[in-house]
Amino acid sequence: MRAPSSLQPSERNPRLVEQRSEDRTVWFTETVGHEPPVARERWFNRGGRTYRSWDPSRSKLAGALVHDWRGDIPEPGERWLYLGAATGTTVSHVADLVGPEGRVYSIEASVRPFGRLLAFAERWPNVLPILADARAPERYSGFVPLVDGVYTDLAQSDQIEIALANARRHLRGSGKFLLALKTSSMGRASSAMEHLAIATETLGRSFDLDRSVHLAPHHRAHYFLGGRPRRSLFDPASGARSPPGSRAR
């Protein structure tokens, strides 16, 4: 692919570059891995670096950027725990954002996507695939250190509880928390807005949340939430570890 004109590094992460036009912005990440493409994305070279297009309809984090997500994103050198890695589409871009010094511990419970995740990770040296149920974080705590960020994209009715259990066990007190909420997985008894309100209230007890964004039409019935831990996340009454130092807000 020929390099797009007028690329700008993002102020939020130099490994994320933006191409702005009057009516839209397109994003690319500087790759850590090698071809072939992970999900039919376009690759190009520019100034001795190789970039990959980031499709907002294939990745909820890219969708969140399109919908003006102002909260945290992964940054170079960070370690992330990623729940619901599937075949690695978004994992690959998170891994690009944290760069070669960062790590993405990628949890996936289904054997079939995990096989493809393993094959992909051979080309992305900072991705560590782990075949496990994210409902049991204690089973992989021996492989996952304290991390700078937890990213959750599980599409399960108990996605919030799973994310909280993992953040309590693995997230640093000053860490980042991102969650792609699929409201249609949370039952038909409540509307999407009611599910979002419940999720915001539940997570708001443990995190200082940023303004959530709706991911439609790129991802139907999905919202993107995130924030930084409050001290209450690590409250011993919740069965959690003690907060690391005084860094939790």
Ligand X SMILES: C[S@@+](CC[C@H](N)C(=O)[O-])C[C@H]1O[C@@H](n2cnc3c(N)ncnc32)[C@H](O)[C@@H]1O
- For ligand X, the binding residues (CB under 6 A) are 59-60, 84, 86, 89-90, 107-110, 113, 133-135, 153-156
The closest of 139, 86, 79, 93 to 109, measured between CA atoms, is 86
Q: DSSP strand E in the chain: where?
A: 7-9, 16-20, 25-30, 43-46, 49-54, 79-83, 103-108, 127-131, 147-152, 171-182, 207-209, 213-214, 222-229
CA 155 to chain centre: 13
Q: How far is the CB of 84 from ligand X (least distance, A)?
A: 3
Considering beta carbons, is residue 104 or 248 the nearer one to ligand X?
A: 104
Contacts of 42 (CB under 8 A, 6+ apart): 1, 52, 53
Q: How far is the CB of 197 from ligand X (least distance, A)?
A: 22
Q: How far is the CB of 86 from ligand X (least distance, A)?
A: 4
Considering beta carbons, is residue 54 or 234 the nearer one to ligand X?
A: 54
Question: Which residue number has the CB closest to ligand X?
Answer: 84
Considering beta carbons, is residue 15 or 182 the nearer one to ligand X?
A: 182
Q: How far is the CB of 82 from ligand X (least distance, A)?
A: 7
Considering beta carbons, is residue 25 or 110 the nearer one to ligand X?
A: 110
Q: How far is the CB of 54 from ligand X (least distance, A)?
A: 11
Considering beta carbons, is residue 78 or 173 the nearer one to ligand X?
A: 78
